[in-house]
Amino acid sequence: METNIRQTHADLIKAITEIAAAMPLARTVQLYQFALFLKTHPLPGEETFEEVAADEAIWDTQFAATNDDKLAALAAAVEAGMNEGKVLPMFDAHGEFIEHQ
């Protein structure tokens, strides 16, 4: 069984490599960045309770140290950019990803 799992893993790596090779460079960079994200962010259930608690403590500390006025100004700037058409939406009204060219 383990040989099949390793073979499947190898097949997946090969398939991902072939997909990446056929993409434009910008999309390959996005794929790479997403892979790095996945590498550093375990799926629910993969992390230990201690890891989750430590991560939550970091977030709590960061949010507690956030200057509400600066955060409000940032949100206003983003909203203004959206209203001016400088920011493009990531998702449509149905929650589907929008791919911009």
pLDDT of residue 4: 64
pLDDT of residue 1: 44
Tell me the pLDDT tens digit for each residue of 40-80: 887 777 777 787 788 889 999 998 898 889 989 999 998 89
pLDDT of residue 3: 55
pLDDT of residue 61: 93
Query: What gap in Å lies between CA 50 and CA 57, rounded to an integer?
Result: 10
- In the chain, domain spans: 1-41, 43-93
Q: How far apart are the first and last CA of the chain?
A: 44
Which of 6-10, 13-17, 23-27 comes out lowest in average pLDDT?
A: 6-10
Q: What is the pTM of this model?
A: 0.41
For residues 46-67, one letter each, b for 16 or more C-beta atoms within 10 angstroms of the residue's C-beta and e for the rest, the string is eeeeeeeeeeeeeeeeeeeeee
